[in-house]
């Protein structure tokens, strides 16, 4: 089955700086890669996703890049704000059936 | 409002008791999932369903069982709760070619 690895496990940045979280996957057939944000005590919420036919996608301060050859994808958050502090999970899916999640990155944005 | 609901939100129960965690979604999604997640940690898939009368075990071994008699309802049952079952249980649903949406979770404590 698919194996998703996520790094780093914790990330601390100063407000206004950029944050980058990286994930690798093992199954080259995976074709859908969502990113979720989970605040303390709340449910995971989708923040951005990318499909395998696209190399990059941007939504305001958030962007995701996908390198199918290297089998890795990254989340980029620019101009970080304290409310960006949360745990972020990447995931990979083949055909929108089973989703395989990374181990999570705890992002702390210091004011 | 279209959403995914879980009850109870919190449950404290003694060892050996039978419990059922409820999950309902009003989005008409065919696919539903159960994940186990310790706070802030990785999500582990324990059961999933692609539609009525379809259920499969996930990658994490679990002593729980599920049923899918109606599209909107996907309950999870533990026949005999143990302290090792203490965790958060997240239900999710998705439509074909769309990402998953998560319920608010049930926090289970087995004494």
pLDDT tens profile A22-35: 999 999 999 999 99
Per residue in A50-106, pLDDT (tens digit) is 999 889 999 999 999 999 999 999 999 999 999 999 999 999 998 777 889 999 999
Q: Nearest by CB to B40, which of A32, A34, A104?
A: A104
Nearest-Cα residue of chain B relative to residue A39:
B40
Judging contacts by C-beta atoms under 8 Å, the chain A residues touching residue B47 are: none
Between chains, do A43 and B105 touch, taking CB under 8 Å as contact? Answer: yes
Chain A interface includes B102 (CB < 8 A): yes
Q: Which residues of B touch A1 (CB under 8 A)?
A: 59
Own/partner pairs, B81-85, CB within 8 angstroms, 24+ separation: B81/B13, B81/B14, B81/B15, B81/B16, B81/B17, B81/B18, B81/B19, B81/B108, B81/B110, B82/B15, B82/B16, B82/B110, B83/B15, B83/B110, B83/B111, B84/B110, B85/B110
pLDDT by position in tens, chain B (length 111):
679 999 999 999 999 999 999 999 999 999 999 999 998 889 999 999 999 999 999 877 778 999 999 999 999 999 999 999 999 999 999 987 778 899 999 999 999
């Amino acid at each position: 089955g698919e194996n998703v690895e996520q790094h780093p496990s914790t990330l601390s940045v100063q407000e206004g700086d950029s944050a980058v979280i990286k994930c690798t996957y093992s199954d080259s057939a995976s074709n859908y890669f969502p990113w979720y944000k989970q605040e303390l005590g709340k449910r995971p919420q989708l923040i951005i996703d990318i499909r395998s036919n696209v190399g990059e996608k941007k939504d305001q301060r958030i962007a995701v890049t996908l390198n199918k050859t290297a089998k890795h994808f990254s989340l980029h958050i620019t101009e970080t704000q304290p409310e960006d502090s949360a745990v972020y999970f990447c995931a990979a899916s083949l055909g929108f059936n089973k989703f395989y999640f990374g181990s999570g990155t705890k992002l702390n944005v210091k004011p | 409002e279209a959403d995914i609901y879980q009850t109870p939100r919190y449950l404290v129960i003694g060892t050996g008791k039978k419990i059922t965690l409820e999950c309902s979604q009003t989005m008409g999604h065919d696919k539903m999932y159960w994940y186990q997640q310790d706070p802030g940690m990785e999500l582990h898939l324990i059961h999933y369903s692609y539609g009525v009368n379809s259920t499969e075990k996930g990658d994490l071994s679990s002593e729980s069982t599920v049923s899918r008699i109606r599209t909107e309802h996907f309950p999870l049952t533990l026949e005999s709760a143990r302290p090792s079952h203490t965790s958060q249980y997240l239900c999710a649903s998705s439509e074909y070619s769309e990402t998953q949406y998560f319920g608010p979770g049930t926090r289970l404590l087995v004494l």
